[in-house]
Amino acid sequence: MFPKIAIGLLILSPAFAQDTLPVLGDVATFSNLGSYLEAHTNGAVRPIKESFLSFRVNQKLREATPVLPLSNPDLIHSLFETDVEKMIQNAGTVDFVSAKKKYYRSQTFNNSTQRFSRSYVYPSDWHSLNHNPIRKINLPTQVYGQQFEPLDAKSIEQSPLVDPSFHRNLDAATGTEMTAGNKLRLLNNGEVSFREKIRMVKESKFFFHAVVMVQYCDESSSEIVDAMIERARAGVDVRLITESVWTKLILKKCLAKLRNGGVKVTLGKGFFNPRTMFTVHHTKFWIRDGKEAIMGGQNMHDFENSSNGFNNHTRDKDVHVTGPAVTDMMREYVRIWNHEQKRVDPSMSQYLDEVKQKEASERARGLRGTELYDQWLNRPAGEIPGVCRVMVQGSKTSDTPGIISKAYIEIMKNAKYSMIINSPTFRYKEDSDNALDNSQIIKAILAGSKRGVKVDIISNGLDGGWGEAGHQLRQLANDLRRKGRVGLASLIEKMDKLVATFIGRSNRKNLANAVNGTDVDVWLYFNHIHSKQMSFDHIMTSTGSFNLDQHSHKNHESTMICLDKQLADQSLVSFVTDIVNSTPVIQ
């Protein structure tokens, strides 16, 4: 009896089990890799398709790179699936994010390379993830993280963020007001939002007004540029406000094409003005005929337009809106257009007249007015009628300096249950003379954590690299490879990785230093994340252009802050997707 028990215990021991797991050579077939991953994850990651692909295996990095002429992450991700419940079971944890944290805590982190060690070989298209990316959230959100369990209506109603008096104070502090009756829809990534913007241009009959930091005329962006020109030539008033420095440096031909096509273009001023030195026109929203609008964080270039959040392009979010918030955007567009001119543009007066008519109608219908806040907000959470605040912040020479900073500080001071924050960069330097710099926002976040608010921050590390600039370098390398110039392509790719590591290290250090000793969870997305969206207490959602860095409090920025349960629920699923496809910053 004793020998049988001993043999059984030996077989079940981790050391014996590890020795019997399959291993990979320097080249592996897909079948080999699939069997290997299924065994090493105890069935949590498994192949779901057949493929004739082979993989080069870097034994030192424990990375398997598919043998393909060009990177195709969508293809590689489609070959596998991640069993979330199996990973939780294997880890013996309560939820998926806890399983992730447990795994990465068991590995060593190399600060020089910004890489965790690996207990098994991962496909290179997973980047730093130890599992195949999870594209659909098809289990209850609390399975992925207990903090994501939906709040009941009674709990939400106890949040100070739905208190009418809180919002009247915010009105006074920011010079803005809320409107009701807005219909809102989250636009996840460029492949969704970009098609909506093109549709809006093509359906415009009277005007299409856009403001965005950069407008390219690259392969995908040319479609919307051509549509804007076609509409302008058809008599539609098409206007674009964009950043001056970036445009003058690399987008002169695109600027000329737009202007020659009849699009009215104005460039943001202030970058070299002694009073507003280095401020950037970072605002982003689009309006069609005063009927619908989109606000968010996306720029106009291939890296954004063709992104699905998983294909090595950027991860971003916009919100589509119809309702009185569009009127507010119209008013703000007139203001910033005139602000960037040498003198007030008389052709914009027609839009101010239209805004005044719309505002009067909205007040008559009970969709606008501070006196209506109690009526809108003293309802069950699911019945709050699309209540939104549009905030378009200018530099200190404008009428609206620092208003987004003011709003975020007050919101974060009053959040009761949760904060989930997307910010591609996390850099700040405290300025004792400025009560609105981003260090004050960071302090408000940390103070929330100390009083029991669950805080999750999603940002960029090694995998996020240096965003658009890195993407352009990789595109250049791909073009060189097509032309057979492999040596130069390899050199450019090495330079991209070197800079991505440096930038990722800097951002990770800032994040780790800021939250050190707190219960804040910090996550680094496995692609570049460009989204500037935040969620508070499962009811308030903010979507716009404002980063948590040392510049945004003085830049031209925009955001739309909404109390809307449907948008909050859509956004929660989006945030869960971000976090499950991120690696934790382990303190």
pLDDT band at residue 9 under the 50/70/90 scheme: very low
pLDDT greater at residue 433 or residue 375: 375
At 475, the pLDDT band (50, 70, 90 cuts) reads: confident
Each residue's pLDDT tens digit, 81-98: 999 999 999 999 999 999
Check whether domain 159-584 has CATH 3.30.830.10, yes or no: no
Alpha helices in 235-348 (DSSP H): 244-250, 252-260, 302-305, 324-339
Give the SS3 label for residue 446. Answer: helix
For residue range 525-573, what is the model confidence (pLDDT) as tens digits?
Answer: 999 999 999 999 999 999 999 999 888 888 899 999 999 999 999 999 9
pTM of the model: 0.93
Query: Residues 464-488: what's their mean pLDDT?
Result: 86
Q: Per residue in 246-274, pLDDT tens?
A: 888 889 999 999 999 999 999 988 777 76
Among 529, 528, 533, 530, CA closest to 559: 533
Predicted confidence band at 184 (pLDDT cuts at 50, 70, 90)?
A: very high
> With 60 as the cut, is the pLDDT of residue 13 above it?
no
User: Predicted confidence band at 509 (pLDDT cuts at 50, 70, 90)?
Assistant: very high
φ/ψ bin of 235: left (φ > 0), alpha (ψ from -120 to 50), beta (otherwise): left
The residues, ordered by sequence, that sit 6+ positions from 35 with a Cβ below 8 Å of its Cβ are: 22
Interstrand relation of 122-123 and 63-66 (parallel, antiparallel or unpaired): parallel
pLDDT of residue 20: 80
CA angle 315, 581, 84 (to 5 degrees): 145
Confidence of residue 376 (pLDDT cuts 50, 70, 90): very high
Q: What is the pLDDT of residue 472?
A: 83
Using the Cα atoms of residue 183, residue 188, residue 189 and residue 195 in order, give the sign of their dihedral: negative
Measured distance CA(147)–CA(159) in Å, rounded: 16
- φ, ψ for residue 489, nearest 5 deg: -60, -45
For residues 124 and 467, what is the distance between their CA atoms, to the nearest angstrom? 18
* Residue range 115-130, pLDDT digits in tens: 999 999 999 999 999 9
Instruction: Give Cα separations from 332 to 184, 439, 447 (angstroms).
Output: 19, 27, 33
Asked whether residue 15 carries a pLDDT value surpassing 60, the answer given is no
Q: Give the C-alpha separation, 291 to 3, whole Å.
A: 80
Kindly give the residue spans of alpha helices, DSSP state H, lying in 234-323: 244-250, 252-260, 302-305
Q: What share of the chain is helix, strand, coil (3-state, %, to 5)?
A: 45, 20, 35
For all residues of the chain together, what is the average pLDDT?
Answer: 92
- Identify whether the C-beta of residue 508 lies closer than 8 Å to the C-beta of residue 461: yes
For the chain, the domains span 25-82, 159-584
How far apart CA 327 and CA 353 sit, in angstroms, is 11
Structure tokens at 552: 């945004």
pLDDT of residue 433: 57
User: What average pLDDT does this structure show over 466-472?
Assistant: 84
Which of these ranges, 4-18, 119-133, 182-196, 273-287, has the smallest mean pLDDT?
Answer: 4-18
Across 443-480, b (16+ Cβ under 10 Å) vs e yields: bbbbebbeeebbbbbbbbbbbbbbbbebbbbbeebbeb
Going across the sheet that includes 63-66, the strands are 27-29, 54-58, 63-66, 122-123
Residue 576 has pLDDT above 80, yes or no: yes
Q: Does position 322 have pLDDT exceeding 80, yes or no?
A: yes
Confidence of residue 275 (pLDDT cuts 50, 70, 90): confident
Reply yes or no on whether the pLDDT at 24 is more than 90: yes
105: left (phi over 0), alpha (psi -120 to 50) or beta: alpha
**pLDDT at site 434:** 65
pLDDT digits (tens, 9 = 90+) for 47-77: 999 999 999 999 999 999 999 988 899 999 9
**Residue 5 in this model has a pLDDT that exceeds 60:** no
Half-sphere exposure of 443 (CA within 13 A, CB side): 12
pLDDT at 118: 97
Rounded to an integer, what distance in angstroms lies between the CA atom of residue 350 and that of residue 358?
A: 12
Calpha distance 462→471 (Å, rounded): 14
Instruction: Find the mean pLDDT for residues 186-196.
Output: 97
- Mean pLDDT, rounded, for 280-295: 96
Cα separation of 211 and 353, whole Å? 21
Strands 237-243 and 264-268: parallel
pLDDT at 19: 57
Q: Are 404 and 555 in contact (CB under 8 A)?
A: no
Rounded distance between C-alpha atoms, residue 87 and residue 96, angstroms: 7
Name the region of 575 (left: φ>0; alpha: ψ -120 to 50; beta: rest). alpha
Residue 525 is predicted with a pLDDT of 97
16, pLDDT greater than 70: no
pLDDT of residue 431: 61
Q: CA angle, 534 as apex, 532 and 538 as ends, to 5°?
A: 155
Note the pLDDT of residue 396: 80
